[in-house]
């Protein structure tokens, strides 16, 4: 079967197999990783290697800290204002809204101060049915000169809208640090850290199981937390304690580490006589090919449609609709019978959604496209 769930999502089979093999006795230690002290001799190298591999794969600069936290991406919607609202005395927080997740972020931040939506895709695109189908041009964002930061969601999981290029805020005349929610496309492509001061995400799509929240941030963002910020969510305290102010999600970190090793080992041929791609570049090439296959199928059909501006269609989450919605149940039933699982769209948007995270092989998308064509012929 192929699992198209938006998250928690499919993980590489090799990772799950290795975890199963090591479940009861990790490397002859006589313990499961679950049973180890996070401060012990055995666990130390696991978390250190995980951080090193993450830094290598995402080319994280040395002046950025990596934090392994809990609470999920949604906790960060509160944790970010608690840590960063006071970066500037005005305590203004700017939000770009391009889908349901960035909308949630802006709403939560408003509990903690002057959070303002400075661009809203739903209100700038007349006629869009689901609202979020494009990214307003950055030159139209009403950035406030004294804002402590600008927040956006670089891949909207529900609406299928992805920033293929992050804005260069300095070119827009802003000094504000850019903060991104990269939950649903982290490690699917490289990241330009010259444009990003902080990136955060839940692990349960491309990294591992739920329970781990990743925060990568520039060192100058440490040390600005409001006095009411819980200590376990204070970036400075967690950075000073190597994410061990409290017990980190040890097993989820271990599984993330296995996934990172899997990404590092990936290879993808480019073409005759050319060097093959390695690691994240290989994964990205495969993601591009998978997304192209599915979008081409949708665009070339009379039955299916995707309403997102092609300039910002997500590689990871592809919402699509049957023009004849009365056929939805039959489509899903036939898909499930072929082992094509979890294709029902989010209730906010309706229709279908196929999530094509790193662990989804090209063969899974080929099987989906074959079913879509067959179903269209039957219709």
Site for ligand PLP in 54-93 (CB under 6 A): 72-74
Residue 104 burial by Cβ neighbours in a 10 Å radius (0-12, 13-18, 19+)? middle
220 is catalytic: no
String of contacts with ligand PLP for each residue 4-43, x by CB under 6 A: ---x------------------------------------
Distances (CA, A) of 105 to 161, 177, 236, 342: 16, 16, 22, 26
Query: Across the chain, which distance is largest between two alpha carbons, in Å?
Result: 63
Q: Give the residue nearest to ligand PLP (CB).
A: 72
DSSP-assigned letters across all residues of 308-348? S-GGGB-SSEEEEEESSGGGHHHHHHHHHHTTEE--BPPTT
Residue of 26, 88, 94, 101 marked active site: 101
Give the shortest CB-36-to-ligand PLP separation in angstroms.
Answer: 24
Q: How far apart are CA 10 and CA 13, in angstroms?
A: 8
Nearest approach, Cβ of residue 219 and ligand PLP (Å): 24
Q: Is 168 among the annotated ligand-binding positions?
A: no
Minimum distance from CB of 72 to ligand PLP (Å)? 3
- As beta bridge partners, residue 200 has 181, 215
- Specify whether the CB–CB gap between 352 and 223 falls below 8 A: no
Least distance (Å) between residue 104 CB and ligand PLP? 7
Q: Which listed residue (181, 262, 290, 371) is catalytic?
A: 181
User: Given the complex with ligand PLP, which of 167 and 322 has the nearer CB atom?
Assistant: 167
Select 12 or 249, whichever has its Cβ closest to ligand PLP.
249
Q: Which SS3 state, helix, strand or coil, does residue 81 take?
A: helix
**How far apart are alpha carbons 301 and 306 in whole angstroms?**
11
Cβ closest to ligand PLP, residue 92 vs residue 206: 206
Q: Are 222 and 66 in contact (CB under 8 A)?
A: no
Give how far Cα 233 sits from Cα of 153, 338, 354, Å. Answer: 20, 44, 33
* Contact status: 254 vs ligand PLP (CB under 6 A): no
Concatenated DSSP letters for 344-379? BPPTTT-SEEEE--TTS-HHHHHHHHHHHHHHHHH-
Q: Give me the 149-188 binding string for ligand PLP, x by CB under 6 A, dash otherwise.
A: ----x---x-----------------------x-xx----
- Residues 96-115 close enough to bind ligand PLP by CB under 6 A: 101
Q: Does the active-site annotation cover 101?
A: yes
Nearer to ligand PLP, 205 or 224 (CB): 205
249: contact with ligand PLP by CB under 6 A:
no
Q: Is the dihedral of CA 201, 203, 204, 205 positive or negative?
A: positive
Interacting residues with ligand PLP between 197 and 236 (CB under 6 A): 202
CB of 118 to ligand PLP, least distance (A): 19
Query: Rounded to an integer, what distance in angstroms lies between the CA atom of residue 129 and that of residue 127?
Result: 6
Q: Is 181 a catalytic residue?
A: yes
The enclosing H or E element of 94 equals: strand 92-97
Which residues are known to be catalytic?
101, 181, 205
Pick out the residues of the known binding site: 39, 101, 157, 181, 204, 246-247
In the complex, the residues that contact ligand PLP under the rule CB under 6 A are 7, 72-74, 101, 153, 157, 181, 183-184, 202
């Amino acid at each position: 079967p192929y699992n198209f769930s938006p998250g928690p999502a499919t993980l590489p089979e090799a990772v799950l197999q290795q975890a199963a093999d090591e479940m009861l006795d990790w490397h002859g230690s006589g313990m499961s990783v679950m049973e180890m002290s996070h401060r012990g001799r055995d666990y130390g190298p696991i978390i250190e290697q995980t951080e090193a591999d993450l830094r290598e794969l995402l080319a994280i600069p040395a002046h950025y800290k990596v934090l392994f936290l809990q609470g999920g991406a949604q906790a960060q919607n509160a944790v970010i204002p608690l840590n960063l609202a006071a970066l500037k005395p005005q305590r203004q927080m700017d939000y770009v809204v391009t889908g349901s997740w960035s909308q949630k972020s802006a709403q939560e931040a408003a509990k903690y101060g002057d959070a303002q939506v400075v661009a809203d895709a739903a209100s700038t695109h007349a006629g869009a049915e689901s609202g979020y189908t494009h990214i307003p041009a950055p030159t139209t964002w009403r950035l406030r000169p004294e804002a402590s930061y600008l927040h956006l969601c670089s891949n909207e999981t529900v609406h299928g809208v992805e920033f293929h290029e992050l804005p260069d805020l300095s070119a827009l005349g802003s000094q504000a640090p850019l903060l991104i929610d990269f939950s649903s496309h982290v490690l699917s492509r490289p990241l330009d850290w010259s444009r990003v001061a902080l990136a955060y995400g839940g692990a349960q799509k491309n990294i591992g199981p739920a329970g781990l929240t990743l925060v990568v941030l520039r060192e100058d963002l440490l040390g600005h937390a409001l006095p009411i910020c819980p200590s376990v969510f204070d970036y400075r305290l967690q950075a000073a304690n190597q994410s061990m102010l409290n017990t980190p999600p040890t097993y989820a970190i271990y599984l993330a580490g296995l996934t990172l090793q899997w990404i590092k080992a990936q290879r993808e041929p480019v073409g005759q006589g050319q060097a093959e791609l390695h690691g994240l570049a290989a994964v990205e090439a495969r993601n591009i090919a998978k997304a192209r296959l599915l979008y081409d199928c949708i665009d070339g059909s009379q039955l299916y449609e995707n309403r997102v501006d092609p300039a910002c269609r997500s590689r990871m989450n592809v919402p699509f609709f049957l023009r004849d919605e009365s056929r939805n149940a039959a489509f899903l039933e036939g898909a499930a019978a072929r082992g094509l699982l979890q294709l029902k769209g989010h209730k906010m948007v309706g229709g279908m959604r196929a999530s094509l995270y790193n662990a989804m092989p090209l063969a899974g998308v080929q099987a989906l496209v074959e079913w879509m064509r067959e179903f269209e012929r039957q219709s």
